[in-house]
Amino acid sequence: MVEAICRTSDRVAFGECRLRWSITSHLRENRSSISVNGAYWFGSGIHYALEDKYGDKRFVNAQDAFQAYVDATLIAGTAPEHYAEDSVLALGMLRYYEDVWLEIEIDGAKRNELETFVFNGVPQIEQKFRIKIEVPNKIYPDVYYEGIFDRVIVDEIGRLWVLDYKTTQRFTKSDIYMNQQALTYYWAAKHLYPEKKVAGVVWWQFAKRDPFDKDTRKQKINPTKDEDEYIKREWIPMKDINANNEYKNMCLQVRDMLNPNTSIYPSYGTHCRWCSFRTSCQIKLDKDDEAFRESFLSISTESQAYFESWRAFLQFPKIS
């Protein structure tokens, strides 16, 4: 291998549990659980619906794009068991966004969908990036940081913001000092668009509640141009020094990942709740490493590509 690639998911996993990192990272075992993570499936569908709405616009609306995603994942075999129930929720959320949230007037004007930044003729939507980083190590001559911006937007005074969509049970207030992804996106955008002023990150949260379901509990929030009880946009301004310091942190962490002698061990904690390898981990505690390895190999498959296989099965509306 002549190059190493690091992603934010690597850094999060490495920070939380080195054992999970070693199973999932392409720098090590590079495996994904075949029991599809429902939250991942749900979030990917909402992302795809918004990607199409602000990008290719191949569907009439975001709801149709989501339905096409559902159908494609069913063919690909990556839809979770409870896909029908989750689809009703997602379609309700998207209908609310398009028909209510964007249409309602706040202080005499509709909410702003925000202007997508176009760079070298390409709208910056689901924009993949790959940036070379300087990490001294003995194995890989080239080390890259890879990621995907959900969308980059330009504000009314020409500044760029990296926009990230989140689906969440409850809104959280983003604190940049506890948000590695936001800091990394800011650093990456400054690197990729050096001619532009990059102002920060927009955290765009969609609550996982169906606004058309009368039984859904509502929070009490006075609607603003960026927020109501179901959808919240949070603008997080950042400073140059934040990007510089985050780059230093990133290089130190990646150096540890690339060290073949880095110790690998489980770290038990609340993050285990969302780990697909919990049963294997229990076997590691109760039996031995061989049984553990046999277990995680039996419930996983090679490569993250498994989760993107649905794209090949998308059916687009016929153009008459």
Binding site for ligand SF4 (CB under 6 A): 17, 19-20, 266-268, 271-272, 275, 277-278, 281
Min dist CB 29 to ligand SF4, Å, is 12
Q: Are 111 and 104 in contact (CB under 8 A)?
A: yes
Which helix (H) or strand (E) segment holds residue 134: the answer is: none
Distance CA 31, CA 280 (A): 14
Distance CA 31, CA 52 (A): 29
Q: Are 193 and 119 in contact (CB under 8 A)?
A: yes
Min dist CB 302 to ligand SF4, Å, is 18
Distance CA 266, CA 16 (A): 9
Q: State the amino acid at position 89 in one-letter form.
A: L
CB of 19 or CB of 250, closer to ligand SF4: 19
Q: Are 185 and 201 in contact (CB under 8 A)?
A: yes
CB of 231 or CB of 275, closer to ligand SF4: 275
CB of 187 or CB of 296, closer to ligand SF4: 296
Three-state DSSP class for residue 249: helix
Q: State the amino acid at position 187 in one-letter form.
A: W
Residues contacting 316, CB < 8 A, separation 6+: 58, 59, 68
User: What's phi and psi for 226, nearest 5 deg?
Assistant: -115, -5
Q: Are 4 and 143 in contact (CB under 8 A)?
A: yes
Min dist CB 268 to ligand SF4, Å, is 5
Min dist CB 264 to ligand SF4, Å, is 10
Min dist CB 181 to ligand SF4, Å, is 18
CB of 20 or CB of 47, closer to ligand SF4: 20
Strands 198-207 and 109-110: unpaired
Q: Are 280 and 299 in contact (CB under 8 A)?
A: yes
CB of 25 or CB of 127, closer to ligand SF4: 25
Q: Are 23 and 13 in contact (CB under 8 A)?
A: no
Q: Are 94 and 49 in contact (CB under 8 A)?
A: yes
Min dist CB 299 to ligand SF4, Å, is 12
CB of 102 or CB of 264, closer to ligand SF4: 264
CB of 30 or CB of 61, closer to ligand SF4: 30
Three-state DSSP class for residue 267: coil
Min dist CB 6 to ligand SF4, Å, is 19
Min dist CB 26 to ligand SF4, Å, is 17
CB of 268 or CB of 316, closer to ligand SF4: 268
